[in-house]
Amino acid sequence: MKEISLNILDIAENSVKAKATLVEITVTETAYTLTLTVKDDGTGMTKDVLLSVTNPFYTTRTTRKVGMGIPLLQFAAEQTGGNIKIESKHFSEYPDEHGTTVTALFYKNHIDFTPLGDVISSVTTLIQGHPETDFLYKHSFSDKTVMLDTREIRAVLEGVPLDTFEVLIWIRDNLREQYDENQ
């Protein structure tokens, strides 16, 4: 993947496939690090599945939960000296608090660090493809925060679908303006 935002798009798809109702995407930057967290309230994974998701040769062709997505994220993080961590609670064991959290740590000054890239495009693409799922996007950097919560947008829209073109444009422009203000 050329940009971390593409990994975000890819990893968040796993959350949607795991029937998440809310996917929380958090990007937190310090001077030297970028930490990405994708947290969902989906079905979660059993311990056996969890142990094998970083193996690119592990296949879930029948359920298609994971494939190259996690290994590519792991590669992108590790090539900067960082790492990834996956925590998951399967609904069979944790009926009230199931879900998966993927955390990736990147070192920004490493020569192999891939830039965050067009993260606005990834957020709008996720909403366009999954208008029924809620997304919380939060990007913190140098004391500033850019945030978007589709639950708030949904409340205003009163039944108008989130993948309506005008709504997607509003979301895109809202994020653009937040980034411009924080420049």
For the CB of residue 31, give the shortest distance to other proteins in the complex, in Å.
29
- Measured in degrees and rounded to the nearest 5, phi and psi for residue 37 equal -125, 130
| Interface residue list for other proteins (CB under 8 A) | 1, 6, 9-10, 13, 64, 67-69, 72, 118, 121-122, 124-125, 128-129, 152-153, 156-160, 164-168, 170, 173-174, 177
For the CB of residue 117, give the shortest distance to other proteins in the complex, in Å.
10
Distance between CA atoms of residues 123 and 27, nearest Å = 12
10 versus 89: smaller Cβ distance to other proteins: 10
For the CB of residue 52, give the shortest distance to other proteins in the complex, in Å.
17
Q: Which residues of 45-82 are buried (b: 16+ CB within 10 A; e: fewer)?
A: beeebbeebeeeeeeeeeeebbbebbbbbbbbbeebeb
4 versus 89: smaller Cβ distance to other proteins: 4
100 versus 122: smaller Cβ distance to other proteins: 122
Helix (H, G, I), strand (E, B) or coil at 16: helix
Count of Cβ atoms closer than 10 Å to residue 87 Cβ: 13
16 versus 34: smaller Cβ distance to other proteins: 16
In contact, 8 and 25? CB cutoff 8 Å:
yes
For the CB of residue 49, give the shortest distance to other proteins in the complex, in Å.
17
